[in-house]
């Protein structure tokens, strides 16, 4: 018996790869996950852990390219485009610019809303049925405004998009927001409350997913960096790693921001760029927010758990540059200090950075490869990997088992990029 062979070999042990593993195991497949670090060590670890159907609208819209270009002159801008020349990033930016129109915006919003809403329901059911210890709370997410301009812009655009998509949002006066959130400094002009959003602690959720995968017979190979692919007649026959060779009847590429780098070895040009995000994690302050917050004027996300408190957000396009950018970490602190009575907890536990896998059209890439007969892709979830993970796992399992998927797979298909 070849113990290195599985029905399905999953490349990547983040929240998406582990979700695919779990749903495939439920369908009766044998599964092995190859992870170069430890489960969830990438962007699954340090994000703010919000589950957000409210984020259905993509960034790409008319006028967004000029915002991105202006950001090159502000290293602390919430959306920052590093001016250093990078050919692959320039190609991605040109592709992104082509999607900054209302037709593509609407198409992306509908695709994102469908997978976000389905995943929101699946996540809640999975956490309850398996009694997952991940501090899951269904208390909504509040957008907070201290200036009238940003709120007026969001009321005009953000609210109308969500209402068309059937995602509820509530308009609140400043005094109503302050009554709901005593942790906020006075002077709030208003808020938008998204009651169907939720939050969890992402590192604990991923740890629980890994536990479920192992308990159901899945194998997770940690510290297993992929070195090569052996192919034959449009099939991937072996994946070579530092820890030996592995094979599967089907291979799922769920490598997040690393997907384009590994995809190149298979002749795939995935239209993706790493969008670098940052977060600060503290022990819980005495006056912690009751809800997850987005301080919209400064683009800072604030999430509270029983076990801690996190500030996060920002989007930096600097290619695969590693390490903390102190300018952007300091911007998170300043932004939180403008809005919160206690912007930091008693003890700083972690300063974090990670790469988000950003597709050129801001829709995930999920489905069978057009180039390789046994390759499936599950990547490019952008800032919404946790939020979209359960529905991605369900869809991949349905496709690999030739059963009718709950979601229409067409908007996510790799075929739109000839992958």
DSSP string, 14-56: SHHHHHHHHHHHHTT--EEEE-SSSTT-SHHHHS--EE-GGG-
Instruction: Dump pLDDT digits (tens) for 212-255.
Output: 999 999 999 999 999 999 999 999 999 999 999 999 999 999 99
- DSSP 3-state of 412: helix
Confidence at residue 68, expressed as pLDDT on a 0 to 100 scale = 67
Residue 350 has pLDDT above 70, yes or no: yes
* Tokens linked to 42: 């990438």
Q: Tell me the per-residue pLDDT of 161-209, one tens digit each, with 9 for 90 and over.
A: 999 999 999 999 999 999 999 999 999 999 999 999 999 999 999 999 9
Cα of 286 vs its chain's centroid, Å = 29
Average pLDDT for the chain: 93
What pLDDT, on the 0 to 100 scale, is given for residue 157?
85
Q: What is the C-alpha to C-alpha distance for residues 189 and 176, in angstroms, rounded to an integer?
A: 10
What pLDDT, in 10s, does the model give residues 295-327?
Answer: 999 999 999 999 999 999 878 888 898 999 898
Spatial separation of the C-alpha atoms in residues 173 and 151, rounded to whole Å: 11
**pLDDT at 4 (0 to 100):** 81
3-state secondary structure of 334: helix
- pLDDT above 90 (res 410): yes
Confidence of residue 89 (pLDDT cuts 50, 70, 90): confident
Looking at residue 259, its pLDDT comes to: 97
Helices and strands: H and E segment counts in the chain: 12, 19
Q: Check if the beta carbon of residue 126 is closer than 8 Å to that of residue 277.
A: no
Q: Would strands 272-282 and 292-295 be described as parallel, antiparallel, or unpaired?
A: unpaired
Backbone phi and psi for residue 298, each to the nearest 5 degrees, phi listed first: -120, 0
Is the pLDDT at 143 greater than 80? The verdict is: yes
Q: Residue 62: its pLDDT value, please?
A: 80
Query: Is the pLDDT confidence value at 73 over 70?
Result: no
Specify the length of the chain in residues: 419
Cα(192)–Cα(105) distance, rounded to whole angstroms? 21
Asked if 335 contacts 300 with a C-beta cutoff of 8 angstroms, the reply is yes
Largest interatomic CA distance in the chain = 68
Give the integer Cα–Cα distance in Å for 375 and 387: 24
* The pTM of the whole model exceeds 0.85: yes
Residue 268, phi then psi, degrees to nearest 5: -100, 130
* Strand 50-51 relative to strand 198-199, pairing: antiparallel
Other beta carbons within 10 angstroms of residue 156's beta carbon come to 9
Q: How far is CA 162 from CA 102, 151, 199, in A?
A: 15, 15, 19
């Amino acid at each position: 018996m070849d113990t290195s062979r599985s029905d399905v070999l999953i490349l990547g042990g983040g929240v998406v790869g582990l979700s695919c593993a779990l749903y495939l195991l439920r369908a009766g497949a044998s599964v092995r996950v190859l992870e170069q670090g430890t489960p969830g060590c990438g962007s699954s670890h340090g994000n703010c852990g919000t589950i957000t159907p409210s984020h259905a609208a993509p960034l790409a819209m008319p006028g967004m390219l000029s915002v991105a270009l202006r950001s090159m002159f502000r290293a602390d801008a919430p959306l920052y485009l590093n001016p250093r020349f990078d050919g692959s990033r320039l190609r991605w930016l040109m592709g992104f610019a082509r999607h900054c129109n209302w037709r593509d915006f609407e198409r992306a919003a509908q695709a994102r809303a469908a997978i976000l809403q389905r995943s929101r329901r699946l996540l809640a059911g999975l956490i309850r049925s398996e009694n997952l210890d991940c501090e899951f709370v269904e208390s909504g997410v509040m957008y907070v405004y201290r200036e009238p301009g940003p709120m007026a812009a969001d009321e005009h655009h953000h609210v109308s998009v969500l209402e068309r998509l059937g995602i509820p949002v509530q308009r609140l006066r400043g005094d109503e927001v302050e009554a709901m959130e005593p942790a906020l400094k006075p002077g709030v002009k208003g808020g938008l409350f998204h009651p169907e959003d939720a939050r969890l602690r992402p590192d604990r959720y991923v740890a629980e997913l890994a536990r479920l995968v192992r308990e159901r017979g899945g194998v997770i190979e940690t510290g297993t960096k992929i070195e090569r692919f052996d192919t034959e007649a449009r099939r991937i026959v072996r994946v070579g790693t530092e820890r030996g060779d592995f094979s599967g009847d089907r291979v799922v590429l769920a490598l997040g921001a690393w997907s384009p780098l590994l995809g190149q070895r298979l002749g795939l040009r995935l239209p993706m760029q790493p969008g670098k995000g940052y977060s600060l994690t503290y022990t819980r302050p005495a006056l912690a927010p009751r809800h997850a917050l987005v301080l919209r004027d400064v683009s800072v996300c604030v999430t509270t758990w029983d076990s801690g408190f996190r500030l996060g957000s920002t989007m930096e396009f600097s290619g695969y540059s590693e390490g903390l950018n102190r300018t952007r970490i300091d911007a998170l602190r300043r932004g939180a200090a403008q809005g919160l009575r206690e912007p930091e907890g008693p003890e700083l536990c972690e300063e974090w950075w990670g790469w988000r896998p950003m597709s050129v059209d801001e829709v995930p890439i999920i489905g069978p490869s057009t180039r390789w007969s046994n390759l499936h892709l599950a990547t490019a979830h952008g800032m919404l990997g946790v939020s979209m993970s359960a529905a991605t796992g369900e869809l991949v399992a349905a496709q690999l088992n030739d059963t009718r998927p709950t979601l229409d797979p067409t908007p996510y298909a790799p075929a739109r990029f000839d992958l």
